[in-house]
Amino acid sequence: MNIRWFHSRSIRQGAEVSRQVEKLVNEQRDILSAESISKLEVANAAFRTRLQKPLTNSEIQTETANLEKVANELLQPYPNAGMRENIKEIAVAMTTILAFTTFFLQLTKIPTGSMQPTLFGITPEEHKGEPPGFFQRVVDYWVHGISYVYLIAPADGVLRVDPPKTILPFVKKQTISVDGHSDSIWFPPDRLEEFARLYTGATVRKGEELINLKMITGDHLLVDRFTYNFRHPERGEIIVFKTRGIEGMRHYDGSEEKDVLYIKRLVALGGETVRIGNDNHLVIDGVRLNAATRHFESLYSPDGPPRRDHYTGHVNGVKGAEYGTPSVAPNFPNEKATLTVRPHHYLAMGDNTLNSWDSRAWGDLPEQNVIGKCWFVYWPFTSRFGWAYR
């Protein structure tokens, strides 16, 4: 029968009917009589026995129809059977997706510029003139991750910027109004007010250009949640971790940082002592990291100070003050300051250390907070697509 199953469509259809009958009998055992269950099981067993014999396609179809007739007479009909089956299939698909993202690969995105230029967060650029036409905007967004936000003041008056509201899952709307005249921006980018320099209370004139931005979305990536089940993270790997429970990551009022995902480069392991030299290099247990250190090849320039338009190395408080960011590294105010990583903890820093809130400020993070490592940039299609970010 196994060989015949491959080349006989009638046998495959019959075998599927038999499987469905067996499944429905098991599902309805609590509502069917013992007599009905017995008749169905006998009929199904007899049908399977008949399929073992060299029947013609016509005979197989007749046997299948007889089994379906017995099933229709004895099984209880389900109300809205089609809808029930669709809901079941959707539930199975969602469960499969959740299981896959829990144990293997998880989707996430880069919201800020702390990992640039390795990975890019949301980047705004001023745009001149009106946005391109509809089809060009579609191509720009789905290929390059570029969207346009353009808004003209509808009247003279005082500006009001409302926070974004979630209308439906994955659908947001932000309203900007001037003295009762309002416009809605659908799918607004994060931190729109900051990027466009819009502030409630500002006075504007009708026809004034309020927003004209080209927004380049942050890199969207797959996080490998599988590898760290078999080994510990290694220095230099780009890790994704939860912020909840990190002791130093608290607000000024003492409240805990909300549970979000951060992505940084792991720079030190439990038990290691770290300091940051005035040459923007990490020194770990007395060993200075440089461009020859694995995973740090791009972070340090092999021929002098790091370029400010590229990587900045690792900046302490002294150098941060020189670059205009004096509060960037409170745990490392100068090159003599050291921090010893606690056991089962890690130190993590962004690659753009002039624009990164990381372990230089909030200290080490528990190893159980790590959920995985950066694996693959799947969108947008830039020079960092795939594994090119490495």
> pLDDT tens digits, residue range 159-168?
888 888 888 7
| Mean of pLDDT values over 209-217 | 88
Phi, psi angles (nearest 5°) of residue 322: -65, -35
Q: Please, which pLDDT band fits residue 196 given cuts at 50, 70 and 90? A: confident
Say which range, 190-199, 221-230, 334-343, has the weakest mean pLDDT.
190-199
Q: What pLDDT does residue 333 have?
A: 94
CA distance 349 to 262: 10
The string of DSSP codes covering 347-358 is: EEE-SSTTS--S
Q: What pLDDT does residue 325 have?
A: 84
Q: What are the residues facing 348 on neighbouring strands?
A: 266
Here the tokens at position 178 are 């001037």
Q: What pLDDT does residue 227 have?
A: 92
Q: Are 301 and 314 in contact (CB under 8 A)?
A: no
Helix (H, G, I), strand (E, B) or coil at 300: coil
The reply to whether 2-74 and 220-379 are identical in fold is no
CA distance 244 to 247: 8
Q: What pLDDT does residue 189 have?
A: 75
Q: Please, which pLDDT band fits residue 86 given cuts at 50, 70 and 90? A: confident
Q: In what order do the strands lie in the sheet with 209-216?
A: 123-126, 209-216, 146-152
Q: Please, which pLDDT band fits residue 371 given cuts at 50, 70 and 90? A: very high
Phi, psi angles (nearest 5°) of residue 359: -65, -15
Residue ranges covered by each domain of the chain:
2-74, 123-216, 220-379
Residue 124 clears pLDDT 80, i.e. is over it: yes
For residue 146, which of 124, 128, 164, 129 has the smallest C-alpha distance?
124
- Residue 116 has a CB neighbour count (10 Å cut-off) of 20
Task: Give Cβ neighbours of residue 354 (< 8 Å, ≥ 6 apart).
Answer: 308, 312, 315, 320, 323, 325, 328
User: Which residue has 């389900």 as its token pair?
Assistant: 78
Distances from the Cα of 278 to the Cα of 157, 252, 317, 333, 336, angstroms: 51, 29, 9, 10, 9
pTM of the shown model: 0.71
Q: What pLDDT does residue 308 have?
A: 46
Mean pLDDT (the chain, rounded): 85
Is the CATH code 1.20.1270 the one for domain 2-74? yes
* H or E segment to which residue 105 belongs: strand 105-109
Q: What pLDDT does residue 309 have?
A: 47
CA distance 288 to 283: 4
Report the share of the chain in percent with pLDDT over 70: 91
> pLDDT tens digits, residue range 228-284?
999 999 999 999 999 888 888 865 445 556 678 899 999 999 999 999 999 999 999
CA atoms within 13 A on the CB side of 336: 0
Residue 170 clears pLDDT 70, i.e. is over it: no
Task: Give Cβ neighbours of residue 65 (< 8 Å, ≥ 6 apart).
Answer: none
User: Which residue has 């590294």 as its token pair?
Assistant: 329
215 residue type, one letter: M
CA distance 252 to 29: 61
Q: What pLDDT does residue 255 have?
A: 54
Superfamily name with CATH number, domain 220-379 = Umud Fragment, subunit A (2.10.109.10)
Report the share of the chain in percent with pLDDT over 90: 31
